[in-house]
Amino acid sequence: MGFRPQKLRVNLKLAINRLKLLEKKKTEIAMKSRKEIADYLSQNKDDRARIRVEHIIREDYLVEAMELLELYCDLLLARFGLIETMKHCDEGLVESVSTLIWAAPRLQSDVQELRLISEQFGQKYGKPFAEEAARNTNKTVNEKLINKLSPNAPPKALVERYLIEIARNYNVPYEPDPSAMGELSDIDSTKGGDNNSDFHGSSGFDGPSGGFHGGFGGPTGPSSGGGFNGGSGFGGPTGPSGGSNPRIGFENYDNPGVSFSQMPSVPGQNAGLAYPPPQVIL
């Protein structure tokens, strides 16, 4: 059928709307789940609470992945003229296009428009380009999004940090797992106190850039000084969009003594972990 610009434009807009709805829905579910986890902790059902937290962490990653894809769709709409007029993919759009193609089979069950978008880019730039993007042969897919959709399990230290903050938020007694806290201490000493570095667990699983979506604030946005950076992508989420309780972020992950009241809110637009996306079962 060939490349149809109008079909691509329409599906980019539809994808943005669907992503926004999914982000909101998953965030609301996480907000309800935190009370359930607090109840488990109060009943000394720590193992069950820990499993539930792992699921919330995965959902946090999925939401952040969706926020990144939403921003890419916005960028492509803003530069749609380049897509229409240039035969080959503009260098500044390679990462955006490649990332959407790569993400399509992983999220198409939730966002059907991604498959149509991927097909249109294949028609526009050719089958070899689409296949290389799908396999990330040239490493043009956003690495942060790849990590968000990684099937790796979250590190114990991150799970423990979520449990600590949920227990604190609901005034529920909780004794952290000493082995997990030891892992946290090892990470801190290895990083040498660099609080601005991203956390990388032993599994290669990065912690959420903004932390916990489950009621400690809403989805996060790109850093105020960042934005899109040509073909190299854009800054990751920085913080909640004005909620009174910020999500667990790695500012206070590396400094457990920092309380929520000391953490500033960072306004911004909406900026996960599923392979394929996990189903929410409450």
The predicted pLDDT at position 16 comes to 98
Average pLDDT over every residue of 216-229: 37
- pLDDT tens digits along 97-110: 999 999 999 999 99
Confidence of residue 24 (pLDDT cuts 50, 70, 90): very high
How many domains is the chain built from?
1
Distances (CA, A) of 274 to 55, 79, 211: 10, 29, 17
- pLDDT tens digits along 72-89: 999 999 999 999 999 999
Assigned token pair, 24 = 């909101």
The predicted pLDDT at position 15 comes to 98
Least confident of 9-23, 41-55, 263-277: 263-277
Axis-axis angle for helices 127-135, 94-107 (nearest 10): 70
- pLDDT tens digits along 178-192: 877 766 655 555 444
Average pLDDT over every residue of 257-269: 34
Per the structure, the complete domain to which residue 41 belongs is given by 5-156
Residue 91 lies in a domain: yes
Q: Is the pLDDT reported for residue 127 higher than 80?
A: yes
Q: Which residue has the higher pLDDT, 235 or 33?
A: 33
Residue 37 lies in a domain: yes
Confidence of residue 10 (pLDDT cuts 50, 70, 90): very high
Residue 111 lies in a domain: yes
Q: How far apart are CA 31 and CA 12, in angstroms?
A: 29
Q: Is the pLDDT reported for residue 214 higher than 50?
A: no
Residue 96 lies in a domain: yes
The predicted pLDDT at position 111 comes to 97
Residue 221 lies in a domain: no
Residue 197 lies in a domain: no
Q: Is the pLDDT reported for residue 204 higher than 70?
A: no
Q: Which of 266, 224, 225, 274 minimizes the C-alpha distance to 247?
A: 266
Residue 251 lies in a domain: no
CATH number of the domain at 82, please: 1.20.1260.60
Tell me the percentage of the chain whose pLDDT exceeds 90: 58
Residue 190 lies in a domain: no
Name the CA dihedral angle for 32, 269, 97, 79, rounded to a multiple of 10 degrees. Answer: 150
HSE, CB side, 13 Å, CA atoms: give it for residue 207: 29
CA angle 112, 115, 119 (to 5 degrees): 150
Average pLDDT over every residue of 122-131: 97
243 Cα distance to chain centroid: 18
Could you tell me the pTM of the whole model? 0.68
Average pLDDT over every residue of 137-153: 95
The predicted pLDDT at position 177 comes to 83
